[in-house]
Amino acid sequence: MSAEQRQESDVEGTKRSSEHLRGTLALGIDDGEPNFSADDEQLLKFHGIYAQDDRDVRRARSLAGEPLEYSFMIRVAIPGGRLTPAQWLALDQISSDVADGTLRLTTRQAVQFHGVRKGGLRPLARALDGHLMTSFAACGDVVRNIVTCPGLQSEDPTGSLTEITEHLARTFKPATAAHWEIFVDGKAAASREETQERSFYGATYLPRKFKIAIAHPGDNCVDVFAQDLGLVPGSHPDAGEGFTVLVGGGLGRSYANPDTFPRLADPLTFATYGEIDDVIMAVINTYRELGDRTDRRRARMKYVVADIGIERFRDEIVARLGRPLRDPLPLMPEIDTDDHLGWRHLPDGRLQIGIRVSAGRVKDVDGGTRLRSALRRIAEEYPVSFYITPQQDILVSSVPAEFQEQIDKILFDHDVASVESLGPVERNALACPALPTCGQALTESERRLPELVGLIEGQLQSSGLGGRRLQLRMTGCPNGCARPAVAEIGVVGRTKSTYDIFLGGGPRGDRLATLHREKVKLEEIPELLEPLFARWRDEGGEGESFGDFLTRVEGP
Ligand code: SRM
Ligand code: SF4
């Protein structure tokens, strides 16, 4: 049966009848209940709000016949991950006032709050609004937070890619005033004139989320091949400055649907800065019209590209643009992933320090690292800027040279690990939040990352490979939020106590890892890696990464 003949999914009906993302949210927020109706929970996502419950106590509560421990996760969209000190301080304050005291940096340069109660939603939205931030459209079937390599921004004295990032964020943000009415202005805004929604969103928005990232030509820290639409800056010999545009990437997979799979984006065209909005619009309109609205698991744009092929997809874009497309520029052969950690000099004479944040969780640990306090102090006292990286880390940037030592001292006094002291796996490990907040988690991720890092670093050590860097990414389910599908070692939750192990991705992010072993307990991973590490040690080329080695000897 074709997608047109199948019935559209319930979420499509909810969106259509929501009057541009309002639904009954304005009533639900004041109804005295700890949660919202099922339809409103779908709409909440467009406002950057996820209904969750504490899964550590879910079973006990259900057995006792008690209501679940409801709370909300709020994701703040931060274009390019760039924040002023005042914005950082506002986020820090929110985390004390209405959330669980932590800030969670995400793999898409956003910030999440967990454990927010219904009564905290409006104060949170107002605090964000007061500092020119919003959670609106950080989630939902829209263009998500625009990700941009922090190096492209902080190391570019012209600021042009920061401007483009902000321009794209504005251009593709839905126009409805619903969020400001319901969460920010309350009753005052109810009389506000209805805004026309953008034509490429209409009443039902997109079939699913749509992700855009801008990569540095030589540094794929954003994982450009994993995006619905990736942009790589370049200079065309005839057309001038612009982007090579890639389309059709995405990493999610569902055990329940074997027709789902991770996919790397294909190069589509080269577009100048002046042309890029129209090209993105044409891609979004193509997706809007051809995307599957019947099965949400197969609704991402990567399936449109996979189903019709990149050539026909190109024809669809040409038809919508009404002009031919240029060929894409070839991508640089030497691409790596810069973790942006440690001190570096910026072209304007100032400095930048990249600070590792394990699993993106900024917090103070009693008797341990007090990263949250350290960052607060830096934001309070120094004229700097911040960037969240796509590796869940944070950069303190634009540091005047005279403050370098003082900042080092603050980090030292708060027991924040220096980059030199990080282990070779720890340095680049990513983990998604998973339990206890994520409703989709099959098992643990963030909470067991330190243990897994220790196991793999221990095995490297005993295999005589102590200092070798390795890219580890862990998730609690196959949705792939920490991008394990392109990692050298991807550890993906399968059951409550086991993981599927994927191997063979690489630091360039241009190769999918392949399934090596199913249903492995974490404790069994060193044993599984031991013979592979021994071969890598004995047969690997000079400086050859683990992923490249495995691919060379075992094939892709
Ligand atoms: Fe994700 C859903 C967390 C990046 C693929 N993701 C979720 C939810 C909202 C769970 C849910 O639907 O109930 C998770 C919230 C958990 C929690 O308690 O906080 C969640 N995703 C995250 C974050 C926070 C992981 C992290 O460790 O940083 C990342 C937030 C990004 C942001 O700021 O916008 C995050 N998610 C990703 C990525 C990586 C990326 O975009 O670079 C992917 C893979 C790329 C892709 O989209 O294909 C990803 N998340 C998914 C999917 C699978 C979508 C699919 O195509 O099937 C889901 C499930 C869904 O949407 O229904 C999902
Ligand atoms: Fe949740 Fe799965 Fe994403 Fe982890 S990968 S945050 S478990 S949806």
The DSSP result for 500-539, as a single string, is EEEE---TT--S--EEEEEEE-GGGHHHHHHHHHHHHHHH
Residue to mutate (ligand 2; options 108, 479, 499; most atoms within 8 A of CB): 479
248: helix, coil or strand? Answer: coil
Q: How far is the CA of 30 from the centre of ligand 2 (A)?
A: 30
- CB atoms near residue 119 (< 10 Å): 13
User: Residues with Cβ < 8 Å from 136, sequence gap 6 or more?
Assistant: 46, 47, 48, 77, 173, 174, 179
pLDDT tens sequence for the chain (556 residues): 555 668 999 999 999 999 999 999 999 999 999 999 999 999 999 999 999 999 999 999 999 999 999 999 999 999 999 999 999 999 999 999 999 999 999 999 999 999 999 999 999 999 999 999 999 999 999 999 999 999 999 988 889 999 999 999 999 999 999 999 999 986 544 444 555 799 999 999 999 999 999 999 999 999 999 999 999 999 999 999 999 999 999 999 999 888 999 999 999 999 999 999 999 999 999 999 999 999 999 999 999 999 999 999 999 999 999 999 999 999 988 888 899 999 999 999 999 999 999 999 999 999 999 999 999 999 999 999 999 999 999 999 999 999 999 999 999 999 999 999 999 999 999 999 999 999 999 999 999 999 999 999 999 999 999 889 999 999 999 999 999 999 999 999 999 999 999 999 988 999 999 999 999 999 999 999 999 999 999 999 999 999 999 999 987 6
Binding site membership of 441 for ligand 2 (Cβ less than 6 Å): yes
Instruction: Give residue 333's pLDDT.
Output: 81
Q: Which one of 481, 483, 512 would you pick to mutate in the ligand 1 pocket, going by the greatest count of ligand atoms within 8 A of its CB?
A: 481
- Compute the distance from residue 3 Cα to the ligand 1 centre, in Å: 25
Peptide bond into 507 cis (omega under 30): no
pLDDT in the model for residue 187? 58
Domains of the chain listed by start with CATH number: 8-141+178-186 (3.30.70.2500), 143-173+206-338 (3.30.413.10), 342-421 (3.90.480.10), 430-554 (3.30.413.10)
pLDDT given at position 188: 45
Q: Is 113 within 8 Å of 107 (Cβ atoms)?
A: no
107 within ligand 2 shell (Cβ under 6 A): no
Q: From ligand 2's centre to the CA of 142, what distance in Å?
A: 19
Which atom of ligand 2 is found nearest the CA of 439? 1
Does the C-beta of 76 come closer than 6 Å to ligand 2?
no
How many CA atoms does the CB half-sphere of 553 hold within 13 Å? 16
Determine the pLDDT at residue 192: 46
Say how many Å lie between the CA of residue 221 and the centre of ligand 2. 20
Taking the centre of ligand 2 as the mean of its atom positions, its distance from the CA of residue 444, in whole angstroms, is 9
Give the number of the ligand closest to the Cα of residue 74: 1
- First CA to last CA across the chain, in angstroms? 34
Q: Is residue 476 lining ligand 2, measured as CB closer than 6 Å?
A: yes
So what's the pLDDT on residue 2? Answer: 57
CA–CA distance from 483 to each of 261, 322, 347, 471 (Å)? 13, 36, 31, 11
The sign one gets for the Cα dihedral 457, 461, 464, 469 is positive
Ligand lying nearest the CA atom of residue 442: 2
Find the length of the chain.
556
Cross-sheet strand order for the sheet of 240-247 = 147-148, 212-214, 229-236, 240-247, 266-272
Checking phi first, is residue 545 left (phi over 0); if not, alpha (psi -120 to 50) or beta? Answer: beta
Q: In the 8-state DSSP scheme, what is residue 182?
A: I
Nearest to 336 by CA among 411, 254, 460, 224: 224
Q: What would the pLDDT profile of 492-505 be if each residue is shown by its tens digit?
A: 999 999 999 999 99
CA–CA distance, 531 with 332 (Å, rounded to integer): 34
SS3 assignment, position 429 = coil
The response to whether residue 23 sits with its C-beta less than 6 Å from ligand 2 reads no
391 lines ligand 2 (CB under 6 A): no
Which atom belonging to ligand 1 lies closest to the Cα atom of 249?
48
3-state secondary structure of 365: coil
Distances (CA, A) of 139 to 145, 211, 462, 477: 8, 10, 43, 19
pLDDT computed for residue 191 by the predictor:
43
Give CA–CA dist 452/459, Å, rounded: 11
Question: Quick check: CB of 252 below 6 Å from ligand 2?
Answer: no
Q: Determine which residue's CA is closest to atom 20 belonging to ligand 1.
A: 481
What is the atom index within ligand 2 of the atom nearest the CA of 442? Answer: 7
Ligand 1 residue neighbourhood (C-beta within 6 Å): 50, 73, 75, 106-108, 110, 112, 144-145, 211, 223, 226, 250-252, 300, 360, 392, 432-433, 437-440, 479-483
Ligand nearest to the CA of 255: 1
Distance CA 254, CA 129 (A): 36
Q: If you measure from the C-alpha of residue 226 to the centroid of ligand 2, how many angstroms do you get, rounded to a whole number?
A: 16
SS3 content of the chain, % helix, strand, coil (to 5): 35, 20, 45
pLDDT at 450 (0 to 100): 97
CB atoms within 10 A of CB 464: 11
> What's the sign of the alpha-carbon dihedral 264, 266, 270, 276?
negative
Q: In ligand 2, which atom is closest to the CA atom of 480?
A: 5
Model confidence, pTM: 0.97
